Structure 1
C-alpha cells in the first residue's frame, strides 16, 4: 500500500509539472504567465511572469497584447526614499543574455489597459509578448484570484519530496 501511495504522489508531482506552462522563441523563454482577476468595472488588470534570455544578444520586451484589453504597458515599481513609485517603461525592458527577469506583485509587472470586461478567475486568457529581436511570442495567462500573490501554476515548481511526504517550499 505504501508503494502505491508513493507512486500516486509521484504521479501527482509529475502531472502538475506538465501543467506548468512556458513559451519559447528565438532564445527567449516566457515562464508561467498569470494575471489577477479584477473587480467588476475595473479599467486595468495586471499580469506577471518570468522572462529568460537564453540567446547570445540582449533583447527588449517592447509590449504585447492581452485578449480583452486595448493594450499592454510594461511597468516597474521601485522605492524612492520611503515611497513606492510606479512608472511605465515606454522604451521597454531589456533582458541581457543569460538573465532572468521576474515580474511579481510589488515589482515589474504588465498592465492590461482598457479592459472591455472584468478578468475572471479560472480559464487561461490568450495574449502575446513582443520583443525587439525575438518577435512575437504567443502566451496564455493563467487567471488567479483577485488578491493572489503568485500563480498556482508556478507554485508547483517549488514542490519537493521529503520522507515520502509532499511539502510546499514557500520560502521563495
Structure 2
C-alpha cells in the first residue's frame, strides 16, 4: 500500500505533464496554431489533418502548403457542394488567415489531406506536419491521432 500511495502523486504528475505538453500552442509570428489532430487511417490510404490557426496580428496571412513525411502527397482541401453532393476539392490559392480571426481546419471544411500514407496513422500516436505560411514561414506541428471516427480532438490533444 505504501508503494501505491507514493506512486499516485508521481503518476498524477506524469499525466498532468503529458496533458500540458499536448495542450501547447505553437506560435509563429502573429499566428498561434492549436488543436492539432488527425484520425486513425490505414497504410496506403488517405488521412487528414485538422487544426486551429489564430492570427493576432494586423496583417493577413495565408496557409499556402503543407508537407508530412508520413504521406506521399499533402494537399490543402475544402468541401464544396456539387448539386446535392458534398465533394472535397484542393484549395489552389491557399487558406486565408485574416487578422484578428481564428480559422479552424475541421471535418467538413478546410483540412490538410495526407494522400498515400506510407504507414498507418495509429490512435494515440503523433505524426509531424510542416505548415508553410505566406508571412509566418514554415512551422512544424504534431498531429495527435484520434480514433478513425473522431469528430474532434480529445481533451489531451488540444
Normalised-by-shorter TM-score class:
0.7 to 0.9
Q: CA deviation at 1:17?
A: 5.3
Give the secondary-structure state (helix, strand or coil) at the position aligned to 1:114: strand
Taking the TM superposition and a 5 Å limit, the aligned residue runs for 1:122-137 are 122-137=124-139
Partner of 1:87: 89
Provide Cα deviations, 1:31-56, integer angstroms capped at 9, x if missing partner: 111111103441x2111111111111
Using the alignment, how far apart are the partners of 1:21 and 1:107 within structure 2?
Answer: 24
Alpha-carbon contact 1:34-1:142 (below 8 Å) kept: yes
**Equivalences, count:** 145
- Residue matched to 2:37: 34
Distance 1:148 1:47, change over 3 A: same
Query: CA separation of 1:154/1:96 partners in 2, compared to 1, >3 Å: closer, same or farther?
Result: farther
Q: TM-score, normalization: structure 2? A: 0.81
Any unmatched runs of 5+ in structure 1? 1-7, 157-172
Select between 19-28 and 80-89 the one with higher mean Cα deviation: 80-89
Q: CA RMSD in A?
A: 2.3
Q: CA contact under 8 A between 2:63 and 2:96: conserved in structure 1?
A: yes
Q: Is the contact made by 2:66 and 2:76 (CA closer than 8 Å) also made in structure 1?
A: no
Q: Is the 8 A contact 1:19 1:153 kept in 2?
A: no
